[in-house]
Structure 1
Amino acid sequence: MTVTMAGTVSPAAASVPGSGIREIVNLALSLPDVVRLEIGEPDAATPAHIVAAGHAAARVRNRYTQSAGIPALRTALADRLHTRYGLVADPELVVISQGAVQGLATVFAALLRPGDEVLVPDPAWPNYEMQALLYGAAAVHYPLRPANGFVPDLAELAALITPRTRILVVNSPSNPTGVVFPAEIIAALVDLAVAHGVTVVSDEVYDEIVFDGTHTNAAALAAEHVVSVFSFSKTYAMTGSRIGYVVGPAWLMPTVARLQEPLLSCVTAASQAEALAALEGPQEFVAETLAAYRSRRDLVVGLLADAGIAVTVPSGAFYLMVPLADGVDSRSAAIHLVHAGVATAPGTAFGDTASSHLRLSLASSREQLTLGVGRLADWYRRTGGGREMS
């Protein structure tokens, strides 16, 4: 008898979970009058000169480009990395991606074999684990404990490394915690990876959004062992343009560039024109939005303190973690809160360590934040931090 596999999906694909963030997004969109604090989407409009550059490019030549990106943009990004971080990067080692998420996926595709292990922070953006599973690898969580300020314990992390460990994911400034790792922590993480022959994949999407302290570029410490992933989405309010970039060592990046063709052929010409305009044009927008996010952080921290809710104050990105009562399931709390008029992202969407926390996005307006945090504080008081949901 012939056995057919028609109608089945691959085990790797079947193992990839849905996004706990998107579950709340979909619920919030189905209800009226919900304050949206669950998703990291800048509320500012993309600067006009960036939009104009994309429009002009689409009108003049809306065609394929080089798979790894147009030379002018790759050169401009290499210059940016050198000026900002002292990183000497050949433009040929910079690859333009369809947002940071596709750049990460391509790096994982180039590095991972079935059975490999990827060290992923917990809590962390869920796509790291989703992508590891898609390529047949296992995601091993290293905790970022609230009691430790959401900073990793190096000894605990080192104990998780095995002969199958292939990648150490580092994310600073962090989504979802907003924590900026101190320079000595970044250096220690890189040293640990180098000592064990592990590649660091450094997610630096929020590198321009730092309120306190200084962002440390991991690749500047050990360029042969670090792949850095960046994005235009948050810095320039360009989430819809879907453009990011990856920079890494010479032994890896030609493979990443080659894999662009089977994955997407190339990033759109219009988006690359927008990115180049963002880099070469005025930068006041970056400073203005940074000041706005810092002001919103201070507003929300103050409102929560007034409600008796103490939080770890974020030093960067535009997120903040709100603790619930001990043992409360944050997914149930987030669903309950949507019906109370405010959408938040459950800590369970980001791992196990912060499963009794909610993530708030500070990317909304001060008015929306004031209204949403007010609703959250009222709910918190009524339910005892989620203990008495009904």
Structure 2
Amino acid sequence: MPELAAHVRDVPVNQIREITEAAWRTPGALVLSIGEPGFALPRHVLDAGMACLDRDETNYTPNAGLPALREAFAARFREEQGVDVGADRVYVVSGAQQGLHFAMSLLLSPGDGILIPNPGYPTFAMTSRLLGAEPVGYPLYPDHGFQPRTADIEALITARTRVLVLNSPSNPLGAVLSEGSVRELMELARRHDLWVISDECYEAFTYDVQHVSPARYDGGTPDEARVFTSLTLSKTYGLTGLRIGALICPPGLQQQMDNVMESIVSCVAAPSQYAALAALTGPQDYVEHAHRHYRSNRDAASAVLDGKNIPYLQAQGAFYLWADMSHASGGDVRQWVRRFLADSGVALAPGTAFGSIGEGWVRIALCGRQQDLLDGLSRLPARSGGGLQAR
């Protein structure tokens, strides 16, 4: 057959899916490799989606989404971040991943550079390569608490660099950018005239720190604005399979947004939109319960790792724990997690799924049943020697 396009051949394998699908084929495996919330959905959310089907409201919606849902997303963002965002800047998308593809499609031409975190979520690189762009990882080092340093990022900027990707709270790290860091990174973007894509999928889950969106420090006019904010209800309300999120764009781009939306997905399914509207505007018990559960799991998992002398990054947000298994992985953590699954029946995401700096580390999902989490972590090989590294 004819060859596929080069930019498709260059898309790397998603190592998270690789180990997770192996776990799904393993009877009785404990799957700690994927972030899938484990609670039943709120009844009023399910009812709203089913009512849409019952009344046969199954036709196209506007490209940008139902007006009431766009306003609900905008209202939530205004309330939580204090940013004056109108509903006209909100585009309802089929999950945050489609929102990232949407934003990158608007901003990147073949050969352009995009700065992504290393370690960072793998589809940052996968999506940009699919568009023929060149992802360049900016380092997040253990010695600096996996926080970005402006000088490290600035050293990577070239004449072809167009986009800076920020992710806070971080997947896989659980790290959260401070207000000072956000200000500094936005100043860097202005200095080099870069677009900013801010992935804020886990904004509802922070622990004793505040989530600060880069949109707070964006320019006030179309000529100054540069931030695209990617949001999702997949994690906040457990709506992973309904594929529903939002992309908030800078002002003045509505026509271009409409054109690209039409070419990518046309519009999001109406039942998912009505379920999302109910989630955003109805009781918030689910989010409050999830927050308590993830924090409790984080603390319980941390205690197990402490007992095994395994270093880890104390998660300030999201629902993952980033742990150093270099004492066991032998310099190839991707192969080690496969052996660990085969030997112990526990699936962990290898740190190399998220970039080269992830070698030796694993991501542990904290969102399932606490007993399953503790059972899985109890099977980890302990680390001998001195005290834990700084966390």
User: Equivalent residues in 2 for 1:142-161 (5 A)?
Assistant: 142-161=138-157
With over 3 angstroms needed to count, the CA separation of the structure-2 counterparts of 1:253 and 1:334, relative to structure 1, is farther
How far did 1:361 drift? 0.3
**2:366 alignment counterpart:** 362
- The answer to whether 1:48 aligns with 2:80 is no
- The answer to whether 1:95 aligns with 2:88 is no
How far did 1:212 drift? 2.2
How far did 1:383 drift? 11
Contact residue 145 and residue 354 of structure 1 kept, 8 A: no
Partner of 1:353, secondary structure, is: helix
Contact residue 341 and residue 375 of structure 1 kept, 8 A: no
Contact residue 179 and residue 315 of structure 1 kept, 8 A: yes
CA distance in 1, matches of 2:253, 2:141: 33
TM-score by length of 2: 0.94
After superposition, give the CA deviation of every residue in 1:106-125 in whole Å (9 maximum; x if it has no partner). Answer: 11011101110000000011
- The answer to whether 1:33 aligns with 2:36 is no
Contact residue 113 and residue 160 of structure 2 kept, 8 A: yes
Contact residue 16 and residue 34 of structure 2 kept, 8 A: yes
**2:341 alignment counterpart:** 338
Structure 1 residues 51-60 or 244-253, which shifts more? 244-253
Partner of 1:132, secondary structure, is: helix
After superposition, give the CA deviation of every residue in 1:259-293 in whole Å (9 maximum; x if it has no partner). Answer: 11121111000000011001110012111110110
Name the aligned partner's letter for residue 184 of structure 1: G
Match of 1:83 among 79, 103, 110: 79
- The answer to whether 1:8 aligns with 2:11 is no
Structure 1 residues 116-125 or 69-78, which shifts more? 69-78
Contact residue 310 and residue 383 of structure 2 kept, 8 A: no
With over 3 angstroms needed to count, the CA separation of the structure-2 counterparts of 1:28 and 1:246, relative to structure 1, is same
Match of 1:210 among 198, 206, 209: 206
State the number of aligned residues: 376
Give the unaligned 5+ runs of structure 2.
Answer: 220-224, 386-391
**1:242 alignment counterpart:** 243
- The answer to whether 1:185 aligns with 2:144 is no
**2:12 alignment counterpart:** 17
CA distance in 1, matches of 2:253, 2:300: 44
How far did 1:309 drift? 1.0
Structure 1 residues 23-32 or 267-276, which shifts more? 23-32
Name the aligned partner's letter for residue 227 of structure 2: V
Partner of 2:313, secondary structure, is: coil
Note the aligned Cα RMSD (angstroms): 1.4
Name the aligned partner's letter for residue 302 of structure 2: V
**2:300 alignment counterpart:** 299
TM-score by length of 1: 0.94
Partner of 1:322, secondary structure, is: strand
Match of 1:329 among 316, 328, 332: 332
**1:290 alignment counterpart:** 291
CA distance in 1, matches of 2:76, 2:313: 32
- The answer to whether 1:195 aligns with 2:199 is no
**2:222 alignment counterpart:** none
Give the unaligned 5+ runs of structure 1.
Answer: 1-5, 385-390
